[in-house]
Structure 1
Amino acid sequence: MVLVKRLLVVLLGSYARRFNRDDKRFLVVVGAFPMILLSLLVSMPVIIVVKSTPIFEHEGIAVFISSVWRAVEGSAEEEFYGLLPAIWGSIYTATIAVVVGGILSICFAVFVEDMVPHRFRDILSTLMDVMAALPTIVYGLWAAAFLAPLLLDYIYKPLHQLLAWTPFFSFPPKTGYTLGTAGVLLGIMITPYAAAMIREAYSSIPLSYVEAIYSLGATKLEAIRLKLGMIKPAILAALVLGFGRAVGETVAVALVVGNSLTLTLSLTSPGITVASLIANMFASAPYYKYMESALFAGGLALFMIGLAVNSIGLLVIKKWEERIGLHM
């Protein structure tokens, strides 16, 4: 408690002098919990970096840029773990998810706010909330039983016949468990979260703005385009949040991604993500000297990707707000 009190005094500075003795005691008790949360947040990357150190000493940066995965029991020097296919799979499937989820989320927000009678809005919103509350394993089982066969028969095979010359459909589709399926599933999974943010921003546009748009003779489609332009920062924030959720999804992706250490652009090819790799390999990692450390390095890669994406998103939003401010 003494340490917490000192930290709060340092953080609050002269503002802490305004509190009386009882307020300070209450502040110390309440302030202990944010300090605990802050320490937990700081400990996460620290622990991951410490646990990743052995693989960096063994392989260096090659753990991130190599596609070789060689687990040799009893011969630690021959072990080699390359995370590039898994890192690529995570970024690739999350990017697909942002495209799919972004389209679904924007369409849902516009449909609910502008095209559905008011009495049906609550029903659709409740259904979307139910989707957000579903366990991820339910999505994974549904995708394995329904989505993967559907995409294989009606999307992958026809597109492979037509577009086999492109890198996106060059791999002969033999199963629905592919990078494309994982990306589409993730897009569906992030839709409830992204749609909630986009709809909230869309519905908060002042009525006077909407009336002004229609008073100029705008059609329904033109009005929707203008209103979506007003909430671009909210759309971007929703997509960044969706990317962060998609890139770390584990169980559902592990069921449909194919779990193959391949580095490819083909949507019809099996692949793997960092999260699914960790889930599949962590139980056997203690039998190898460097495998566990390599998996922690994968977690570090996810942490850096998430940090970079969120930082870029915040920077873009800030620049957008500054540009809007200059024109107001």
Structure 2
Amino acid sequence: MAKHTTSKAVRNRLRKEKIAKILMQLSGITITGSLFFIVGTILYKGLPYLSWEMISQAPQGGFYIGKGGGILNAILGSLYLALASTGIATLIGIPISLYLNLYVPKDSFIARSAKLLFDVLFGIPSIVYGAIAFSIMIWLGIRASLLGGIITITLLTIPIVVRTIDELLKTVPIDLTQVTFSLGATPWEAARVVLKYIKPGIFTAILLAFGRAIGDVAGVLLTTGFSDNMPKYIDEPAATLPLAIFFQLSSPIPEVQGRAYASALVLTFIILFIVLCTHLLAAKQKKHKL
């Protein structure tokens, strides 16, 4: 009787394992298929309209109704916005994460409250950050400009950097910090050791922040403005690729809609390039570490 019960339990476990394996395979196929569908759609609809003229020129009169020009102003605006906001968010986010993990006891009220706060901030929609940044801009007397967009996206990406670095710090062996402190190191010296250990992961955090920054449209809609001119000064309105895609898709002209997919293709290529560079840097760092 006991033997029969045991064999039945084994069959149940094997059945559950088989079902779980099938569900995981279906999930993987669904995600991979969705990715290929999205990229394939962008390539199919955008590649015929993608040209060197479109990438290398600013919009001319009537670009958004099908006339000549390109999206160089939006490309540069997106890169300026994403690079500046990601850099500022990284400079602010890494010290916050180190402070919460090395200077403050992990089970203290301050650490738990701060991490809960950043979890909440991580999930707030970008349009809310846009509204908050817009209020700050009115208070400071700043008009819709590249500076306003940088303020918005910096607020948006700081929680991403903080929570990603916080998760990375959880992977640091306890022995590493204990040995460092036992040698008489100060918290700052211990932080330098920890940063060196998680350096490959920091690139991932920067990538996540950059991807969110360059692809956001709701936040910058209120604060960056839009201009066909090339971005020269930080206090001037600037175009971004997501906004350019949004305005072109809103057009009833098929050629302009095709340019929107071409713009999306350019944005995809930029993010792909950043991903490849990040992986190469992380792999180089890991190899050097070994």
| TM-score, with length taken from structure 1 | 0.76
Q: Say whether the 8 Å CA contact 1:85–1:272 is kept in structure 2.
A: yes
Paired residues, number: 275
Q: CA RMSD in A?
A: 2.5
Of all paired residues, the percent bearing the same amino acid is 24
Q: 1:265, CA displacement in angstroms?
A: 4.1
Amino acid corresponding to residue 298 of structure 1 in structure 2? S
Matched, 1:277 2:244: yes
2:36 aligns with 42
2:184 aligns with 217
1:234 aligns with 201
Q: 1:34, CA displacement in angstroms?
A: 2.6
Distance in 1 (alpha carbons) for counterparts of 2:27 and 2:190: 47
1:134 aligns with 124
Matched, 1:91 2:91: no
Matched, 1:302 2:262: no
Q: 1:202, CA displacement in angstroms?
A: 2.2
Change (3 A) 1:121 1:34: same
1:70 aligns with 61
Match of 1:115 among 100, 103, 126: 103
Deviations 1:77-115 (A, max 9, x none): xx1241101011111111012111101210210121123
Map 1:175-190 to 2 at 5 A: 175-190=142-157
Change (3 A) 1:62 1:216: same
| TM-score, with length taken from structure 2 | 0.86
Distance in 2 (alpha carbons) for counterparts of 1:217 and 1:104: 27
Deviations 1:215-243 (A, max 9, x none): 33322322222222221112111001111
Distance in 2 (alpha carbons) for counterparts of 1:258 and 1:139: 15
2:229 aligns with 262
4+ aligned runs moved over 4 Å, structure 1: 20-30
Q: 1:178, CA displacement in angstroms?
A: 1.4
Distance in 2 (alpha carbons) for counterparts of 1:219 and 1:30: 46
Q: Say whether the 8 Å CA contact 2:248–2:259 is kept in structure 1.
A: no
Q: Say whether the 8 Å CA contact 1:100–1:188 is kept in structure 2.
A: no
Change (3 A) 1:214 1:66: same
Amino acid corresponding to residue 52 of structure 1 in structure 2? G
Distance in 2 (alpha carbons) for counterparts of 1:116 and 1:32: 43
Distance in 1 (alpha carbons) for counterparts of 2:184 and 2:15: 64
Q: Say whether the 8 Å CA contact 2:134–2:148 is kept in structure 1.
A: no
List gaps (5 residues or longer) in structure 1: 1-19, 154-174
Q: 1:119, CA displacement in angstroms?
A: 2.4
Deviations 1:268-303 (A, max 9, x none): 2210101022223422x11x3421111111100110
Deviations 1:1-22 (A, max 9, x none): xxxxxxxxxxxxxxxxxxx999
Q: 1:211, CA displacement in angstroms?
A: 2.6
2:5 aligns with none
